[in-house]
Amino acid sequence: MVMPYLHFNGNCEEAFNFYAEAFGGKLESIIPYDDSPNSKVMHGEVRLTETGGVSGSDSVPPELLPEKYEILVHLPSREKLEIVFAKLSEGATHISDFKPHTPGDSGGGAYVTDRYGYSWILCSSVE
């Protein structure tokens, strides 16, 4: 299984809860650096679909974050895609609505850069 690892600057747990809600997934784990009330996340994991999710932590200052990450998620239906897209679009900085794939390829996709700066390519092979 391939699982992207995302770096956050203090809001990893908030983002993972948001992603779990958007995809109807599940927060699998949040492990803090220590047991203090304001401890940041040393490692976390959220399951987005039956077959995958993302891991991450609060470990990298914003100036060290890579300039471009895109996360591709294949969803089971356009209806599920629209639900996830609507949620990820809350506070988003860039949105490209659903567009059909090229002729000969059923389904389509949408693109959104969420409020945390991560870009999501959402695809569904069923229209």
Cβ proximity of 56 and 42 under 8 Å: no
Place of tokens 């077959």: 51
Predicted pLDDT at 87: 96
The secondary structure element, H or E, covering residue 88 is helix 78-88
5 has a pLDDT exceeding 90: no
CATH 3.40.50.2300 fits 1-61, yes or no: no
61 has a pLDDT exceeding 70: no
Q: Where in the chain is the domain with CATH 3.30.720.100?
A: 1-61
CA distance to 6, 64, 106, per residue, from 82 (Å): 23, 32, 16
CATH 1.20.1730.10 fits 68-127, yes or no: no
Q: Quote the percentage of the chain above a pLDDT of 90.
A: 39
- pTM over the 0.85 mark: no
